[in-house]
Structure 1
């Protein structure tokens, strides 16, 4: 099975742009979902009011980890009450201006409905990289520092 995804990117120089300092502002469009304002990171002459590629890559990894985790939890019969993540990407820039994201760290905080599922729910994070499309695609190290707890006061939700 294969599926093709599309993104449209539009960039045009602003009137105030010069050859040496072209605007980094652009628009990413997704069919049926509207536009996202894009730019480079502020360190690279970008606009902090717009999303940069490093943020979008980090978001894609975090989002894919979540979605794969929820899928695995469902298969294991584990009911997830909530999932929150604070993700980080470390960018290394070399003297020649090249660079790469060298590490992505996810910090998912998961609450499960049943206390007896906490250990199994925590262990599921180790299974995600084998199935997550984005984690399988990127060559960067993805570290998961997860914390899973049972939801207080709920033993068996119906």
Structure 2
């Protein structure tokens, strides 16, 4: 079977011209809007450390959210196929980015910490194993050049 190619289109529009464009580093907002056909716009900015608006999503948070969401989507699909019934899933993902002295930087690691609750009768060991499979299949994790690990907390709904 031939490989399938998927293409994605988004538009990022800078909305932060406060009258003088980028005539000075402090003279403009980092605000932007991320749009795609038929979707709700996402208000973005830079991290507050880089003069951004803390009430808007920054690229670093969006990267972390993409890794977390991709893992979750693979994991839930794999569980459904394996007969593992997930009733709740919540991830408290954490990423580490290092900024170098000359201003450039990069992520050095991400840890996904999903808290998964299974229906009674589900196998915790199988549920645990499926996290590794999800990691191996996640499109986003396979596309980054830093380690992405997972430390799931899995429990089964009590009958009480």
Q: Same fold (TM over 0.5)?
A: yes
Q: 2:146 aligns with which of 124, 128, 140?
A: 140
Runs ≥4 in structure 1, deviation > 4 angstroms?
A: none
Answer yes or no: is the 8 Å Cα contact 1:115–1:149 preserved in 2.
Answer: no
Deviation of 1:39 after TM superposition, in Å, equals 0.6
Q: 2:137 aligns with which of 131, 137, 153?
A: 131
Q: How many residues align?
A: 154
Deviation of 1:127 after TM superposition, in Å, equals 1.1
Q: Equivalent residue of 1:124, what SS?
A: helix
Q: Equivalent residue of 1:66, what SS?
A: helix
- How much is the aligned-residue C-alpha RMSD, in angstroms? 1.5
Answer yes or no: is the 8 Å Cα contact 1:115–1:151 preserved in 2.
Answer: no
Match in the other structure for 1:8: 11
Match in the other structure for 1:105: 111
Match in the other structure for 1:49: 55
Unaligned 5+ residue runs, structure 1? none
Answer yes or no: is the 8 Å Cα contact 1:104–1:143 preserved in 2.
Answer: yes
Answer yes or no: is the 8 Å Cα contact 2:14–2:32 preserved in 1.
Answer: yes
Q: 1:26 aligns with which of 4, 24, 32?
A: 32
Structure 2: how far apart are the matches of 1:56 and 1:88?
12
Structure 1: how far apart are the matches of 2:105 and 2:121?
44
Match in the other structure for 2:91: 85
Query: TM-score under structure 1 normalisation?
Result: 0.91
